[in-house]
Structure 1
Amino acid sequence: MALRPPRATPLAWLLLPPLLALALLYQPFAAPLALGLALAFAAVAWRPLLALVLIPAALPVLDLAPWTGRFFVDEFDLLLAGCVAVAAARVPRPGGAGRAPAPVVLAFVLLALSLAISGLRALWPLAWPDGGDWWSFTSPVNALRILKGAAEAWLVVVLWRRLAGAGAARAQAFGAGMVAGLALTVAWIVVERSAFAGPLDFAAGYRVTGPFSAMHRGGAYVECYLAIGLAFTLAAALQARRLWARVAALLLLAAGAYALALTFSRNGWAAGALALLVTAALALARPGRRGLVVAAAGLLLAAAAALPVLLGSYAQERLGRSAQDLATRQAHWADALDLREPGLAAALFGEGAGGFPDLHYWRSREPRHAGSFHWRHEGGRGFLRLGPGAPLYVEQIVEPGAAAELRIAATLRRESAPAALSVALCRKTMRSSQDCRYARLEAAPGEWAAAAPQTLAVPPGRLPLKLALLTPAEGPVLDVDAVTLQAAGGSELLANGGFDTGLARWFFSTDYEPAWHIDSLPVAVLFEQGWFGAAAWLLLLVVTAAVALAPQRRGLAPVPAAAGAFAALLASGLLNTVIDTPRFLLLALLLPWLAAAAPLDSPRREGPRAPGAGAGP
């Protein structure tokens, strides 16, 4: 009797309606987002292998938090979950898959255990979250926001194994997605830089932030991603079979190096150079003259594109401050480690994922602490509570149309001490502003009262226009409700000005980074995961290097690019936390898996095409 072939998973289709329903909550882009997700899911249903293109391509740019205010579950999460579900519904489960080396399995198991313990320690004692917790980076559930990246890395691994029938095409698809993501990021940076300073003005002190909403608290996300993208782009140039594809990859490599230079991040520059060198070394492990020429051309083009920026006055100024900035960071690391509770449990397992901002606020001995913002609900009324400290800007993107002036009003509550709500209307990217207009709304003491309205002139410019509510520098806590911003005709420009739906449509940014990042990946791991977590990460690093350098893996896609990209992430992490946002924790786990554990197929033995139309059950 013939055996029945393995079947796909039809129940996975049931996940799509709730995902599309969630997309409708992401105003103001509900309809375009739902349509885009539906088209992406249809494309994956047609060719499941496209999931491995769409996910990495969307990772840097499908980030609408500055418009939606939502960051615990975002649009990229919906895309990734839906693509994996559609692929599971379309492709039968493979009969078997190659096993990863035992040391690699052990490293990932120990790391998964450490991350789980870190999450539990952050959430302990377990309690149902308050409504405001889902809008805050200082709440215990911030751990869930970060560790979501680990769950998504696991889903991509599941997807990779599910598409075993595609053979070597999996690596090609994922690499193409990473190259597309880099191209989109570079285009964003060129437009952003041109809006603030000329693309060839290397004396201007503007540092690009790119499409990453995580840059609202500072950090190294944009330069880390650019360095990672350079590794995959060089690998694409080396693997290209057509001249036009090779030339296009080399040109993108130069553009990516230029964009990386414009971050003016010193360890970002080092990370980019390391990514290219490691990728080239592993890709040329089976040397060929053409490969050597392409690699040399790529390195020279990258250097030529970056060098004018690096020789500019602002880059030289940054380099001249390196020793001073390192001393400042070292003092910050020492303060961060002093925030830990004494005892064996904290030493072994850390303080818990995502807990640093809250502990810094309450325990740090540094002279400045961040201001605070929280969503509160009392007596059927939702409102925003602002606390004193280093400035935070709770902001919303608005569209004034042809209006020249806007009228702002709010209802405020404060304690007996004098207080006022400062507001700013600015042309602004993620953190840098142009042509701001300011006003103060005076708060009467005691109960809720309407502040006298103020008028703000609309600043000129092409950048997004943002209304920002500023935390007080000092003084009492200030409660804010019923914020309105109206044009002359009375049309309301703000969404959720009464904070009835939490902080939806509101986002925040800050100029003061130390309160939000430990600024060192090793110190952050020791702080959050303890010595057990540090040992697990170190084991993963060692076994990844050993396996990636093994003759049977080096030179096969995606090992050179993944290893080079992982080296770049680690180099960037020497002076930055990096993995305190989910998309980069995803990369920090997925890249070593691709380099050391992913089932690979030689291009000479490429497997069958992924199932096409009609292949499902």
Structure 2
Amino acid sequence: MVTLAARLLAVLAALALATTLRFYPFGHGWPGMLLAVLLPACLLWLWRQPAAWLFYLPCLLPVLDIAPWTGWFFIEETDLLLMQTVACSYARWPHRTVPLPASGAHHQTAQPAQPAQLSQPSQLAGRLVPAARVCLWLLTLAWLAAMLRGLLPLAWPATGESGWHNYLSSYLSPLNSLRLGKAWCWALLLLPLLRRDANPDNLRRLALPGLLCGLALVSLCALWERAVFPGLSNLSSDYRITAPFSAMHTGGAALDGYLALALPFAVLWLARAHSPWRMGAALVLLALALHAALVTFSRGLYAALVVAGAVALICLLRSQSAKRPSVRYLVPGLLLMAACVLLLTLVFGTAGYRGLAAALLLLSGAFLLSTQPLPWRLLPAGAVCAVALQLAFAILWPVQDGGPGILKAPYFLMMLSCLLLIGALWRAHVHGTSNSSARQSALCVAVMAWTTMACNTAWICWHWAGAGALPMAALVIVAAGALLAHAAMRQPLWRLGRTSVGTAGAAAMLCLLAIPVSASYYAGERLTSTAGDWQGRLRHWRQALSMFQGNSTGGASAANILFGMGVGTFPATYFWHNRLDETPARLNYAEENGERYLRLSSPAYRAGYGELLRLLQRVELEPDTPYTLSLSVRRHGALPVLQMRLCQRQLLYAQQCVGVPLRLSAATLPPSWQRYSVTLDSAWLGRGHGLLRAPVQLELAVSSGRQPALIDVDKLSLRDPDGRELLANGDFSAGHNYWFFSSDHHHLPWHIKNIWLHLLIESGLCSVLAMASLLVVAGRQLWRNVAVPARQAGATATLAALCGFLMVGVFDSLLDVPRLALLFYLMLLCTLQQYQLRPCTNRQVMPASSDIGKKKG
């Protein structure tokens, strides 16, 4: 019966995949072609290795998002991947993970195997914690009730095929319930696969690397977006990155929630790195992820990182491992780090980026030297020689004679001194712990190199900020010299090892990134506006609750309280029932005489002008080239104004725009179609090469003041001088295909902005209680695992990730982004698994000829 049900699920998933691919818009750009290659590659890997989905799902869930190209956001690319995964996995359901040898039990099992089981092949099989089963059943029932309340009554579209396009292109649609509810549905479908495949070994070998690869891709997307748009060093711009999360086209904190969920595992990888190369890679990944987190300028994410760090520290103190640091060493270490952060902040305030980098290098060099048995008798002579050598260089190589950048004397000599220090320490390391003359000489050279670094630090500060920066430079040199005294302590606070180097490297990168960001104009503006923004958020929550309670006479009904208004119904509820007399903009599709066209509705706000809803399509332009734009427009009344422009844009916040010189004719009665054609020059749009070329999008929006108004658009065309059409689906015959939309600044009509209020209003009190109970069970399970040395690191990272995610959820809904919600659910379900050895039948054991079997055998 179980096999038959699995086969039925596989058939249904395969039919759904085939139907979706039949209509999926693969054209118009490279992302569709990439998806067409990626899906078969994942299928082949999954067929060869049934547990492969544990890698590619955490890797691709955050980045496999090409909605800005395709226009599809109800059915996403990750849904195609999930359909394929479910179809393939359930089609081969008798296959199990590779059996363990019959000679003994696995060291990570939850319960010891019985003697009778040891005489036959066995495998790790997962089962849910008993309390979690009850919570899962309750949450599933509440989810199903809320889904039905949001979906029903589902009327068949009266306008035929255009009605279905409207259902699939607007958050006001009843099908938005399916869009948000699918995350929990996918989690339930993957739960049997989790129980089969997600044993501790597979989580370590597949899931963790997949999550780290996903984090690396997201961080690289954030780095690219910062480089292309505001600039890496431009921290005063109010530009907010979205990376690969197209769900942020109406605001939200999808990127913040993902980074809070994934960053702790980058720290986990750094803590587990056993080789210099892995440690270097972990530090690079951590630097990229921290940069992405800091340049979001999200106060909620900053708070989440603080909470995650506090949780990790508490778990570290709870750990019963023999290697845990005692409070006696931990407190001085934290105080020392705090003092260094304060000192570096003061240096940055006087000497800028260059002074901060020089001070960090000097302190890092002092940290490394402080772990070595320094030849104290030779230090004074070595220091004097180094100072004399530095003075000679300063006299013979004035700053004015240097080239640009690092070729100037202080920067070049600083770099040379760092290389000399590293080389000397490496040579001392080669000679081991012996007190040979070669080792002593190498350490003496290292001290001389560090002394020249100190001189160059002062020189860089003076060269960049003048004599006023010299007192701070002197303070840094004194503090770094005090660190050297650590080498003379009988009981040092730290030793040169994997843990100390990783911690120091992570702290240095955090300082290098966080201090400039925190001192920037925009970060200061965000922090000073916190109180006002908090009051605005409270007003929005009160309004959301009033709409929730006011949907029925006499307050909220019992059904509303228990099961909510329905999953995905908040945007429609806000549109029709908000108490601010606001009418957010909207777009839909209509038909006339067998032809489909676009209808744009302008927003209306009590205060007058409001945020526009912009229809977007990506186009490939060449700079300084004339293009011809033509379209048909029908204007309903004298108020609406059609705004069109070509802009550099990733998702939000257009830059470097070129306006379309379009003036509409006076409205007619009855409204009639008018054809327009204008020529415009692309100017600077399209400049740049390769990855540094900013994407360009065509934008359409309608404004009309305080009253909503309509404009119809059809037969939209953009052609280059050769007559080649650059727009896809310009006649809207395929509905929303290749067209996306964005609300750059006004985000409240689409989000409740709190994860618990989101659950209460859309899914009811039953969902809130079931989710809270599930989180309590998961937290208790993780807290117990923290006390087990073999599980302490993984449990700490997972608990910190979940707490950070929930902290971001205080300020945003998060669960209204299906991909992010699914990742959260999968992490939660993995936490609730327990594993024990079970005997394998012959049908459950994979063929001995498989590659995995060979690897294990």
Structure 2 length-normalised TM: 0.66
Tell me the CA shift for residue 525 of structure 1: 1.5
Q: If each structure's helix is expressed as a fraction of its own residues, which one has the higher value?
A: 2
Q: 1:247 aligns with which of 231, 255, 280?
A: 280
Q: 1:121 aligns with which of 142, 149, 159?
A: 149
| Paired position in structure 2 for 1:153 | 187
> Is 1:442 aligned to 2:442, yes or no?
no
- Partners of 2:316 and 2:290 lie apart in 1 by 19
Mapping of residues 545-584 of structure 1, within 5 Å: 545-551=779-785, 555=791, 558-584=794-820
For the residue of structure 2 that corresponds to 1:515, the secondary structure is helix
Q: 2:545 aligns with which of 312, 337, 343?
A: 337
Aligned-pair identity in percent equals: 33
Q: Which has the larger radius of gyration?
A: 2
Tell me the CA shift for residue 564 of structure 1: 2.0
| Paired position in structure 2 for 1:356 | 570
| Paired position in structure 2 for 1:268 | 301
| Paired position in structure 1 for 2:534 | 326
For each residue in 1:81-138, what CA deviation from the matched residue of structure 2 results, as whole angstroms up to 9, or x when unmatched?
2234334445635588343222212222222222211111111223335311111111
Amino acid at match of 2:698: L
For each residue in 1:19-39, what CA deviation from the matched residue of structure 2 results, as whole angstroms up to 9, or x when unmatched?
477456332344432222111
For the residue of structure 2 that corresponds to 1:97, the secondary structure is strand
For the residue of structure 1 that corresponds to 2:850, the secondary structure is coil
> Is 1:432 aligned to 2:653, yes or no?
yes
For the residue of structure 2 that corresponds to 1:316, the secondary structure is helix
- Give the direction of change, closer, same or farther, for the CA distance of 1:310–1:536 in structure 2 (3 Å limit): same
For the residue of structure 2 that corresponds to 1:113, the secondary structure is helix
For each residue in 1:479-529, what CA deviation from the matched residue of structure 2 results, as whole angstroms up to 9, or x when unmatched?
211111122232211111111111100000012111111111122122112
- Partners of 1:83 and 1:302 lie apart in 2 by 38
- Partners of 2:87 and 2:792 lie apart in 1 by 28
- Partners of 1:593 and 1:556 lie apart in 2 by 18
Q: 1:233 aligns with which of 261, 266, 273?
A: 266
- Give the direction of change, closer, same or farther, for the CA distance of 1:315–1:429 in structure 2 (3 Å limit): same
| Paired position in structure 2 for 1:300 | 507
| Paired position in structure 2 for 1:385 | 599
- Give the direction of change, closer, same or farther, for the CA distance of 1:493–1:441 in structure 2 (3 Å limit): farther
Q: 2:221 aligns with which of 168, 188, 205?
A: 188
Mapping of residues 537-616 of structure 1, within 5 Å: 537-551=771-785, 555=791, 558-597=794-833, 599=835, 613=850
For the residue of structure 1 that corresponds to 2:168, the secondary structure is helix
Mapping of residues 391-470 of structure 1, within 5 Å: 391-401=612-622, 404-439=625-660, 440-442=662-664, 444-445=667-668, 446-460=670-684, 461=687, 462-470=693-701
Tell me the CA shift for residue 10 of structure 1: 11
Tell me the CA shift for residue 264 of structure 1: 0.1
For the residue of structure 2 that corresponds to 1:452, the secondary structure is strand
For the residue of structure 2 that corresponds to 1:110, the secondary structure is helix
Give yes or no for contact 1:216–1:510 (8 Å, CA) kept in 2: yes
For the residue of structure 2 that corresponds to 1:442, the secondary structure is coil
Q: Relative to structure 2, which stretch is displaced further, 286-295 or 254-263?
A: 286-295
Give yes or no for contact 1:425–1:456 (8 Å, CA) kept in 2: no
Q: Relative to structure 2, which stretch is displaced further, 447-456 or 90-99?
A: 90-99
Give yes or no for contact 1:90–1:615 (8 Å, CA) kept in 2: no
Q: 1:47 aligns with which of 46, 49, 62?
A: 49
Tell me the CA shift for residue 181 of structure 1: 0.6
Amino acid at match of 1:531: L
Amino acid at match of 2:186: E
| Paired position in structure 2 for 1:58 | 60
Tell me the CA shift for residue 447 of structure 1: 4.4
For the residue of structure 1 that corresponds to 2:26, the secondary structure is coil
| Paired position in structure 1 for 2:741 | 508
Tell me the CA shift for residue 301 of structure 1: 4.5
For each residue in 1:249-304, what CA deviation from the matched residue of structure 2 results, as whole angstroms up to 9, or x when unmatched?
23311221121000000011111233344356547835335786477447625632
Give yes or no for contact 1:69–1:503 (8 Å, CA) kept in 2: yes
For each residue in 1:451-479, what CA deviation from the matched residue of structure 2 results, as whole angstroms up to 9, or x when unmatched?
32223321424211101110324452112
- Give the direction of change, closer, same or farther, for the CA distance of 1:271–1:15 in structure 2 (3 Å limit): same
- Give the direction of change, closer, same or farther, for the CA distance of 1:320–1:171 in structure 2 (3 Å limit): same
Amino acid at match of 1:209: T
Q: 2:710 aligns with which of 477, 489, 493?
A: 477
Q: 1:78 aligns with which of 77, 80, 87?
A: 80
- Give the direction of change, closer, same or farther, for the CA distance of 1:199–1:12 in structure 2 (3 Å limit): same
For the residue of structure 2 that corresponds to 1:37, the secondary structure is helix
For each residue in 1:374-417, what CA deviation from the matched residue of structure 2 results, as whole angstroms up to 9, or x when unmatched?
12234422111111213000110011246612222222223343
| Paired position in structure 2 for 1:176 | 209
- Partners of 1:258 and 1:552 lie apart in 2 by 29
Give yes or no for contact 1:143–1:352 (8 Å, CA) kept in 2: yes
Q: 2:561 aligns with which of 326, 347, 360?
A: 347
Q: Relative to structure 2, which stretch is displaced further, 290-299 or 71-80?
A: 290-299
Q: 1:316 aligns with which of 510, 518, 524?
A: 524
- Partners of 1:598 and 1:376 lie apart in 2 by 54
For each residue in 1:202-261, what CA deviation from the matched residue of structure 2 results, as whole angstroms up to 9, or x when unmatched?
222222111110111111111211121211111222233434223322331122112100
Give yes or no for contact 2:177–2:569 (8 Å, CA) kept in 1: yes
| Paired position in structure 1 for 2:586 | 372
Structure 1 length-normalised TM: 0.90
- Give the direction of change, closer, same or farther, for the CA distance of 1:192–1:426 in structure 2 (3 Å limit): same
- Partners of 1:415 and 1:387 lie apart in 2 by 10
Amino acid at match of 1:587: L
- Partners of 1:108 and 1:294 lie apart in 2 by 43
Q: 1:259 aligns with which of 279, 292, 296?
A: 292
- Partners of 1:492 and 1:261 lie apart in 2 by 41
- Give the direction of change, closer, same or farther, for the CA distance of 1:313–1:377 in structure 2 (3 Å limit): same
For each residue in 1:44-81, what CA deviation from the matched residue of structure 2 results, as whole angstroms up to 9, or x when unmatched?
22223322111111111110000000011121111222
Give yes or no for contact 1:168–1:600 (8 Å, CA) kept in 2: no
- Give the direction of change, closer, same or farther, for the CA distance of 1:615–1:271 in structure 2 (3 Å limit): closer
Structure 2: gaps of 5 or more residues:
97-122, 158-162, 325-496, 604-610, 688-692, 838-844
| Paired position in structure 1 for 2:108 | none
- Give the direction of change, closer, same or farther, for the CA distance of 1:344–1:566 in structure 2 (3 Å limit): same
Q: Relative to structure 2, which stretch is displaced further, 221-230 or 372-381?
A: 372-381
Amino acid at match of 1:488: P
Amino acid at match of 2:533: D
Q: Relative to structure 2, which stretch is displaced further, 482-491 or 452-461?
A: 452-461
- Give the direction of change, closer, same or farther, for the CA distance of 1:53–1:280 in structure 2 (3 Å limit): farther
- Give the direction of change, closer, same or farther, for the CA distance of 1:489–1:295 in structure 2 (3 Å limit): closer
- Partners of 1:538 and 1:615 lie apart in 2 by 39
| Paired position in structure 1 for 2:719 | 486
- Give the direction of change, closer, same or farther, for the CA distance of 1:283–1:140 in structure 2 (3 Å limit): farther
- Give the direction of change, closer, same or farther, for the CA distance of 1:473–1:99 in structure 2 (3 Å limit): same
Structure 1: gaps of 5 or more residues:
602-607
Tell me the CA shift for residue 13 of structure 1: 8.3
Give yes or no for contact 2:267–2:286 (8 Å, CA) kept in 1: yes
